[in-house]
Structure 1
Amino acid sequence: MTARPLIGISTYAESGVRWGVWRLDAVLLPAGYPRLVQRAGGLAAMLPPDAPQRAAATVARLDGLVVAGGPDVEPVHYGAEPGPRTGPPARARDAWELALIEAALDRRIPLLGICRGMQLLNVALGGTLVQHIDGHAEVPGTFGRHPVKPVPGTLYAGIAPEQTSVPTYHHQSVDRLGTNLIPSAYAEDGTVEAIELATSPWTLGVQWHPEMGNDLRVMQALTTAASALRGQPSPP
Structure 2
Amino acid sequence: MMGPAHAASGLAAGALTLGLATRFGVDAPLEQLAWVVAWGGFAYLPDLDQRGSTAGSVWGPPTRLLSRAVGFLARRHRGGTHDVVVAPVAFGALAAVAANWPWSALVVLALGIGLALHAISQLIPGGTEKTALGNLALSFLGAWWLTHQGVVLPWLPVAVAGGVVTHIAGDALTTDGVPVPFTTWLRKKPATVGLRLFRAGRGPEPFLQFLVFPALTLLGLVQHVGPVRDLLAPLV
TM-score band by shorter chain is under 0.3
TM-score, normalised with respect to structure 2: 0.26
Structure that is richer in strand per residue = 1
Structure that is richer in helix per residue = 2
By relative contact order (CA 8 Å, sep 6+), the higher-ranking structure is 2
TM-score, normalised with respect to structure 1: 0.26
